Amino acid sequence: MLALINDLVANLIFIFDRLTWLSVIDLALVTLVFFVILLLVRDTQAMALLRGVLLLFVLVTLLSTVEVLPAFSTLMNATLPALIVVIPVIFAPEIRRALERLGRASTLRPAESAPVRTQDTIDAVVSACSRLSSRQHGALIILQRFDSLDQYIQTGVPMDARVTPELILQVFYPNTPLHDGAAIISGTRLVAAAAVMPLSSSGVLAKSPERQMGLRHRAALGISEVSDAVAVVVSEETGGISVVHAGRMIRRLDSERLENVLRAFFHPGKPPSRLARLFGRLFPGRELARRNRHDYPSLVT
């Protein structure tokens, strides 16, 4: 044991003696690359696929080094280069999503260009969701932020009406033509109803202990994964209110917490710095936590 410790100390001294500031920068850049990749694929199906690929790679590498298996080693050495083609095919959706985030991050706009949403609009959404929840009427409300939702607005019925609780209640009244689909709010206007949203395939809902969440929650997760919009969902089964942003869901909200969450996104306070906006666009799931700590430190999500 003492000899093993001495060898370990000697190896550490050997490494630190040859460590330069260029080596530190090199290691930091490699660490940053892996950190960004893991953040981008966190809570997605890509994480499970990545673990499977890494495990398979380790097993194949170990077996390929065994000298008593020459045929297997030859086969693996011939097929491993095919992973260069296979991996982009397997991770195509995640790669596309990451490139979309980079594209949005590269077109930073001033914070003042965000849609102005008055407290009246937030009050209308909160009031309508509270009444929908008590009646167990399902609803999906999409609040547009920076990213354009025109392609989804075109799939619905044009409204272009001022947002009021009564209008939202009427849109989501059961068995009416506008009940199915999403209502999209841009600024202070309800621009479309019965809009079709993309469904999430991340598998987040499969990890939930409850199984009551259906298409509305999948659609809310889907639109939050392809844009920076904020989705408010009212469950038809339980009446529970949830807020979804960047593929993450905050559930079991009451009226007060729902208002705090919405104000955390659309509070007209001090605009964030350009670096903060860039980080928020690359990793939008952390934006709510940052805003909550800054504006509403007592809000527990």
pLDDT single digits (tens) 254-275 = 999 999 999 888 865 444 555 5
| Range with lowest mean pLDDT among 54-58, 67-71, 206-210 | 206-210
Q: Pick the residue with more confidence: 285 or 299? A: 285
In this model, does residue 68 exceed pLDDT 70? no
- pLDDT confidence tier of residue 115, bands split at 50, 70 and 90: very low
Task: Give the residue-averaged pLDDT of 3-29.
Answer: 81
The whole-angstrom separation of Cα 7 and Cα 88 is: 42
- pLDDT confidence tier of residue 114, bands split at 50, 70 and 90: very low
The whole-angstrom separation of Cα 25 and Cα 30 is: 9
State the pLDDT at residue 276: 54
Give span(s): CATH 3.40.1700.10, the chain: 116-295
Tokens in use for 9? 């100390």
State the pLDDT at residue 164: 94
Residue type at position 267: H
CB 147 within 8 A of CB 113: no
The whole-angstrom separation of Cα 159 and Cα 221 is: 24
The whole-angstrom separation of Cα 101 and Cα 225 is: 10
pTM above 0.75, yes or no: no
In this model, does residue 183 exceed pLDDT 60? yes
Q: What is the 3-state secondary structure (H, E, C) of 178-239?
A: CCCCEEEEECCEEEEEEECCCCCCCCCHHHCCCCCCCHHHHHHHHHHHHCCCEEEEECCCCC
- Among residues 221, 182, 231, 228, the alpha carbon closest in space to that of 200 is found at 221
CB 291 within 8 A of CB 267: yes
Residue type at position 14: F
Residue type at position 145: R
**Which CATH superfamily hosts domain 116-295?**
DNA integrity scanning protein, DisA, N-terminal domain (3.40.1700.10)
Q: Pick the residue with more confidence: 114 or 178? A: 178
Residue type at position 164: T
Tokens in use for 166? 């009564």
Average pLDDT, the chain: 76
Task: Give the residue-averaged pLDDT of 115-122.
Answer: 68
